[in-house]
Structure 1
Amino acid sequence: MPRPEVAMRSRDELFTVLSNRRRRRVLYYLLQHDVKQVDLRTLVDVLSEWEYGESVDDLSWKQRKRVYTALHQSHLPKLAEAGAIEYERSRGQVTPTEEIGEYRIYLEYVPADDIPWYRYYLGLTAIAATLTGLVWLSVFPFSNLSGLALSTILVSVFAVSAIVHAHHSRWNQIEMSELFR
Structure 2
Amino acid sequence: MATTSESKPSTAGTTGQNDQSREGEIFDLLSNQRRRYTIHYCKQEDNPVTLGDLAEHVAAWELDKEVEAITSAERKRVYTSLQQTHLPTLERADIIKFDDRTIELTDEAAELDVYLDIVPGNSVSWGIYYLGLTAVGAVVIGGLWLEVVPTETVPELGWTTLVFSLFAVSAAIHVVQNRRMRLGEMERPP
2: CA distance, partners of 1:61 / 1:165: 46
SS of the aligned residue for 2:98 comes to strand
Aligned to 1:29, which of 41, 52, 61?
A: 41
Aligned to 1:50, which of 33, 40, 61?
A: 61
Note the residue ranges of structure 2 that are not aligned, 5 or more in a row.
1-17, 120-124, 131-154
1: CA distance, partners of 2:161 / 2:82: 51
CA apart distance, 1:157: 5.7
Does 1:165 pair with 2:166? no
The amino acid across from 2:63 in the alignment is Y
SS of the aligned residue for 1:94 comes to strand
1:127 is matched with which residue?
none
1:108-123 alignment, distance < 5 Å: 108-109=117-118, 114=127
CA apart distance, 1:155: 6.8
| Structure whose residues are more often helix by fraction | 1
- Please report the TM-score for the alignment, with normalisation by the length of structure 1: 0.60
The amino acid across from 1:100 in the alignment is A
User: How many residue pairs align between the two structures?
Assistant: 137
Q: Percent identity?
A: 31
Does 1:103 pair with 2:112? yes
RMSD: 3.7
Give CA-to-partner distance per residue, 1:77-123, whole Å, 9 cap, x none: 1111111111112xx1001111111112212148x9949x9xxxxxx
The amino acid across from 2:67 in the alignment is V
Does 1:67 pair with 2:73? no
2:93 is matched with which residue?
82
- Please report the TM-score for the alignment, with normalisation by the length of structure 2: 0.58
